[in-house]
Amino acid sequence: MSCVADLGSTGEQQSSPTDAQAFAPGSAQVLVAGATGFAGALAAHLLWRHPGFELVGITGRSETGRRLDDLYPRYRVPLEIAPLDLDDLGQIDAAIVAYPHAAAAPTVGALLDHGVRVVDLSADFRLSDLATYERWYGPHPRPELLPHAVYGLTEFHRERIATARLVANPGCYPTASVLGLAPLARAGLIADVVIDAKQGLSGAGRTFDDTTHMSMAGENITPYKVAKHRHTPEMEEQLALLGADLPVQFQAHLVPLDQGEMASCYVTPTRPVPEDELLALYHDAYAAEHFVEVVDAPPGVREVRETNFCRLFAAADTHTGKLLVFSAIDNLWKGTSSQAIQNLNLMFGLPETAGLL
């Protein structure tokens, strides 16, 4: 799968620059499309304070003419929300697209046609198989772009991300779950897995329904999208690439938090795994990763709130023989927007940690 390919309508080959040579820190100009939602607004906030990028525009299909620091005062981004004008992009080098699935793909394609490198926060390019995408999401608006997208789980695809023109930012649940299960998948130790995940209200976005309205969500825990959550095939595809090709039993729950996510993974191993072997497996897997921390006690979501960190804890249950893995992230940060910045850093030859510590 080549990332240096004809992605536009002109037939001209678009090549990515040698990033560290092509862009000095602060010289790459970035646009956030869809800055009125939670993910887009946070991405704009992180870019506004980033030492290596210049945020030159924010767009939205609502709230146009309003400043982002009026809509989201805590982010203090003093730019005005404008409609996206693809005919007047100026010297944009990169864009973060924060649109819903199906709505994102046409805009992503148009940006690529203009030579803009894109990190897409929607689900439109996360799955490499078109049939799988259409089974879970319906017809794909730009299926010809699927082979050119690189899945943006940074810890596992960083070399391809660095040269990509289109990065598909992972879903928050797959981020937590795949990071948690990857060491076991690589070791061929997963015979079966159940992922029981819980997330705060921000994961539902700014539009509330009867389930996510505070009057229903407060003092409550609610399973949702039972046996049909669209993140399931994303987890299955990534785990298969790591060596665990199997169906995943995944269930999401809404909990009365603002933001935060915990993926509790219950693994039936292919053979007995002693505790010391399990811990060594996790420590070795993530020893060189700045944003993945293997800890000695079960983590809570407060420990990672408003950070790009994932905290992992693994244990072997001697009674049942199962392996337990707990993965905590902030669903808006490592699960969405700060991971997008981590990927953008790679795409422009900057340290992965730039703007995230």
- What positions carry a catalytic annotation? 172
259-279 burial, b for 16+ CB within 10 Å, e for fewer? bbbbbbbbbebeeebeeeebb
What's the rounded Cα separation, in Å, for the pair 345 and 52?
A: 8
Strand extents, DSSP E, 49-157: 53-59, 81-82, 94-97, 117-120, 150-151
Q: Kindly list the strands in the beta sheet with 222-224, ordered across the sheet, starting from the edge strand earlier in the chain.
A: 222-224, 249-254, 190-199, 261-269, 323-329, 310-316, 292-294
* Contact criterion met (CB below 8 Å) for 165 and 7: yes
Please state the length of the chain: 357
By CB neighbour count within 10 A (0-12 exposed, 13-18 middle, 19+ buried), where does 132 fall? middle
Task: Give the distance from CA 261 to its chain's centroid.
Answer: 13
Span between the terminal Cα atoms of the chain, in Å? 33
